Amino acid sequence: MKAQKVYDVLKDLAIDFNIIEHEAAFTVEEMEKVLPEMDAQVCKNLFLRDQKGKQHYLVVMPKEKPFNLKDFEAKQGLGKMSFASEERLQKYLDVPSGSVSPFGLLNDTNAHVIVYMDAALRNYAEVGVHPNVNNATVTFSSKDLEKFMASLENEVYWVEI
């Protein structure tokens, strides 16, 4: 059901995509074990919150890129942040941990979550992300990732992470 909503939105946006079904994968490391060899760049997705818990952020980047929270805060001019809880993830993106992806923003009806997309994702022909479930991966062009992100009402920033 959750995945079908993603597929319907992609079709409505005239985005070509492929679906790869696989064993459930909760981390990028697990995804590497269950995904077949493919050309698409798998995305790492991090759900963060500010110190007071009033603002939430989704960070999307290439899977192999290391993430340093303090560096990210400084580069983006943000205050102290931390990883958001499972409860916050459910509240804002309506997905469990292990299923986080830009597609969770379809459930953010108030466009509360601010998104930071790593500009490096634009350098890949194709990207792969979970369709709000962790037993499938959707692959599509990075240009179509940009098209999808532009269709949302959320604030989206393409930055160097």
Q: What is the pLDDT along the chain (161 residues), one digit of tens a residue?
A: 789 999 999 999 999 999 988 888 777 777 776 666 777 888 999 999 999 999 999 999 999 999 999 999 999 999 999 999 999 999 999 998 889 999 999 999 999 999 999 999 999 999 999 999 989 999 999 999 999 999 999 999 999 99
| Structural domain count of the chain | 1
State the CATH number of the domain containing residue 28: 3.90.960.10
Q: What is the pLDDT of residue 92?
A: 97
Q: Rounded CA gap, 97 and 89, in Å?
A: 7
Name which of 40, 54, 160, 149 is nearest 104 in CA terms. Answer: 149
Q: Rounded CA gap, 49 and 6, in Å?
A: 24
Q: Tokens 């269709």, residue?
A: 151
Which pair of tokens denotes residue 131?
A: 């369709």
Residue span of the structural domain in which 24 resides = 2-159
Asked if 140 and 34 count as a contact pair (C-beta separation under 8 A), the reply is no
- CA 128 to chain centroid, in Å, comes to 10
Cβ-proximal residues to 80 (8 Å cutoff; 6+ apart), any chain: 50, 51, 73
Q: Rounded CA gap, 151 and 153, in Å?
A: 7
Q: What is the pLDDT of residue 34?
A: 66
76 burial (CB, 10 Å; 0-12 / 13-18 / 19+) is middle
Which pair of tokens denotes residue 27?
A: 């981390």
Q: What is the pLDDT of residue 51?
A: 93
Q: What is the pLDDT of residue 36?
A: 66
Q: What is the pLDDT of residue 97?
A: 85
What are the residues facing 118 on neighbouring strands?
Answer: 159
Strand pairing category for 126-129 and 136-141: antiparallel
